[in-house]
Every structure is written in C-alpha cells, then in structure tokens.
Structure 1
C-alpha cells in the first residue's frame, strides 16, 4: 500500500512538471520582455527597483493555451503592491498589452497553466 501511494505521488509530480512544458516558449518570451522592462525601470527609478526580474518571485499565468501570459510580482524593493503585466504571444513574439484590464481578464478567464511563487499574503 505504501508503494502504491509513493507511485501515485511520483506520477502526479511528473504530470505536473510536463504540463508546463507546452507553455514554456510562451512563458520564456514574456519573461524576456519583462526582464528588459525591469532593467529600464531600474535605471529610471535610481535604486527603488530591483534590477532583475526574478521569475521565482512571480506568479505566472497562461491563458488560452499560450496566447496570453500574465506576470504578477513586486517590481519595487520596499513596496507591498503586486503589479500585473500582460503579454499577448503572436508570431512567436511577446507583445506587452498596454492599457489592458489585466485583473478583469484574469477574473473572466480560466488559466491554462499557473505557477504561483508569491505567498498568498503577498498577492493583492
């Protein structure tokens, strides 16, 4: 019985890891764009902004099977506010959606994939 439980846990972990693979390209494209944005923001803000975007400190949501990627994280060092950035993946490129109602979109759509690295008390 113990062996069956361990097998089920192992299979669950493998399936969870494989599910993100089909969206890796879309996620990577959005992360690359966000990295560039974060570097520009750090130069303009002079010290209040983290110089690098760290995907391990961000929530990542994929919608419509890779067509949209939303990154939620705290770009400012001593700020508790989580900022959301939406990208549309088209022709294998990420395009930032300026003026896009990210939270409304997230409330009205079911994500195809999500990776939540912010604690529940971090998200606002």
Structure 2
C-alpha cells in the first residue's frame, strides 16, 4: 500500500514538474513578443489613419507570433484589413538591444520554410 501511494505521488510530481517546465519554455520569449506587439500596435494606429480599409483596432489576442533564431527574429501575423481574410505579416529583428523592422525577407515564406523556436497561433 505504501508503495502504491509513493508511486502515485511520484507520478503526480512528475506531471506537475513537466507542466511547469513547459510553461517556462513558452514564456521564454514573451517579453520580446510583447515589445514587438507594442511597436506593431503603434504602427497599426498610423495605418488606420491612412486607410479606411484597415481594421480600426489592433487586437493582440488575434495575433500569431513566430520566434526564430533563439528570439533574434520575431514574425507576427494578423488580419489587417476589415473585409479580407488575408494575413498581414511583419518581421522584427533584435540586434544589439535594439529592435528593427525587417523588409528584406518575405515573412510568409520564411515562416513556411524555417522551423520556429516558438509559435503561438491564435488565428488561421
């Protein structure tokens, strides 16, 4: 009976430990993703001023995030336009404690052709 109780406790602790480990892994890039989201939110506000076709709100809960190169490259995608289901992709690079918008790669292709270190898909 003692062995059964000890066995169950070991299994429960293993499950809890595994769950906590995954959560830490997922949140490893969250501060960088948040920085990118903040920049994109400001950029989105400017796009709204320039076009009536752009969704008026930037909803962080409906943005996909892809992390590459151990957090040095982050690509986000979301539905930019009101009447279109097409996803808009934006690429940001972290270099020397600064964040740069990258225009020299095709982010949609990059996401398809490279394995991400982390991804959070909220919209398809």
Aligned partners of 1:13 and 1:78: how far apart in 2? 40
1:71 aligned counterpart, secondary structure: strand
Normalized per residue, the structure richer in helix is 2
2:94 to 89, 92, 102: 89
Structure with the larger RCO, 1 or 2 (CA within 8 Å, 6+ apart):
1
Give TM-score scaled by structure 1 length.
Answer: 0.79
Could you list the per-position Cα deviations for residues 60-116 of structure 1 after superposition, in whole angstroms to 9, with x for gaps in the alignment?
000011000010110112211011111101123321112421123223321111111
**Alpha-carbon spacing, 1:13–1:59, altered in 2? closer, same or farther (3 Å):** farther
What RMSD, in angstroms, separates the aligned Cα atoms of the two structures?
2.3
Q: How many residues align?
A: 117
- Structure 2: stretches of 5+ with no match in the other structure: 1-6
Unaligned 5+ segments in structure 1 are: none
**Contact 1:29–1:93, Cα closer than 8 Å, also in 2:** no
| Larger gyration radius, structure 1 or structure 2 | 2
